[in-house]
Amino acid sequence: MNLNSLKGTGVALITPFHKDGRIDFKCFKKLLDRCIDGKVDYLVPLGTTGESATLSKDEKNAVTDFVTEVADGRVPVVLGMGGNNTQELLQTLEDTDFSKIDAVLSVSPYYNRPSQRGIYQHYKMFAANCPVPVILYNVPARTGSNMDAEITLELAHDVKNIVGIKEASGNIEKAMKIIKNKPKDFLLISGDDVLALPIIACGGDGVISVFANAYPKDFSEMVRQALDGNFDKAKKLHYKMLDLMHAIFVDGNPSGVKGLLSLMGSCSEFVRLPLLPVSKSTLNRLEAMM
């Protein structure tokens, strides 16, 4: 695939639920169409924001099929697929139909707290068996381990099928180190909405965004203007959205963005345990900020 199609704004999609916990595909379709009409660049189902940790295998397959069907080639689809059991993950690769999947976003192995060499070998084996390009995902606040810039760069140079990283450590200095030393066609993607603009200014390639579920048009335009070097226009949009971007994470993700979407009438606020919807005070705060 043309990696330029993965520059810009990817949406870390929520998975809408009914009150009884079933997936709400009617609201899901409205969300997907709104994101695409808002000119986002690609869709990312089954990530952290999609509550993949509490979806069954059958539900994951249903979400994958649904998103690719609705997208219908209008935008690329990057499938979230990661885990802390390398062998099980390889089996998942064998069991997955990649005919309509453009790339995979794979979170660094969590809980086991692997060494840097363990992370390297995990990704090397995964990428060798993955039929589509692989984007690494470093999110130490969730995984309990932090990929060093050196390991990211080693994977970028050594493994042809690894084409980028979603860097969500919040460390801009680390992001700059990767940008400075990465292969020319390796993508550095922000994993934090509020850092998307500064990371692009440093030479990054875009963002995989939670906030774009709610405001796809404004957010993707901000990213587009920044990538085009129009930073005055990008900054205006960035600061317009900044406080609300912060606020949706006060009670955790995706509870915050689902609360925001419920206020907008787009979908319900329901999440699956052990997550809970945002508090009433946070919901009131989001409503006032809207």
Catalytic residue among 60, 120, 123, 166: 166
- The residue annotated as part of the active site, out of 42, 120, 123, 137, is 137
166 is catalytic: yes
CA pair distance 116, 101, nearest whole angstrom = 29
137 labelled catalytic: yes
**Rounded Cα–Cα distance for residues 26 and 235 (Å):** 35
Alpha-helix residue ranges (DSSP H) falling in the chain:
25-37, 57-71, 86-95, 116-129, 140-143, 149-158, 172-181, 196-201, 216-227, 231-247, 255-263, 280-289
CA angle 276, 11, 7 (to 5 degrees): 150
Among 91, 101, 89, smallest CA distance to 45 is for 101
Taking Cα atoms as reference points, which of 197, 227, 193, 229 lies closest to residue 8?
227
Considering only CA atoms, which of 2, 75, 63 is closest in space to residue 34? 75
Closest CA to 207 of 4, 8, 41: 8
Give the number of other Cβ atoms within 10 Å of residue 198's Cβ: 16
Return the active site residues: 137, 166
